[in-house]
Amino acid sequence: GAVVSQHPSRVICKSGTSVKIECRSLDFQATTMFWYRQFPKQSLMLMATSNEGSKATYEQGVEKDKFLINHASLTLSTLTVTSAHPEDSSFYICSAIPRTSDYGYTFGSGTRLTVV
């Protein structure tokens, strides 16, 4: 089946630094990937839609200059949290749809970001 790999699974960084999270589709090509953020005890909140070869589309309230998304190939999207602050600490999850599937959203296993 379709597999989405996310790396790293956990990261701790200092305030003011930047962190890059990778999302890879391992056995399929994904022209579109999605990034979500999940705070403790809450649901997944859509942050942005990542489009291969073009600019990402951000949801209202998500700062595009803070959360940089790059989708340079059909199998890789990256989310960079710039100048991270403790309030950015969260669980970040990516998702992709295989081209051959109408409904098959596949999720990565998430990245737990802690900013200290």
Partner 1 sequence: TQLLEQSPQFLSIQEGENLTVYCNSSSVFSSLQWYRQEPGEGPVLLVTVVTGGEVKKLKRLTFQFGDARKDSSLHITAAQPGDTGLYLCAPITSGNTPLVFGKGTRLSVIA
Residues of this chain that bind partner 1 (CB under 8 A): 4, 6, 31-32, 34, 41-44, 46, 49, 91, 93, 95, 97, 103-110, 112
| 15 vs 109 by CB, closer to partner 1 | 109
| 14 vs 41 by CB, closer to partner 1 | 41
Amino acid at residue number 100 = T
Distance of CA 11 to the CA centre of its chain: 14
Q: Which residues contact 41 (CB under 8 A, 6 or more apart)?
A: none
Q: Which of 24, 13, 40, 29 is nearest to 79 (CA)?
A: 24
* Minimum distance, C-beta of residue 71 to partner 1, in the bound complex (Å): 12
* Minimum distance, C-beta of residue 20 to partner 1, in the bound complex (Å): 18
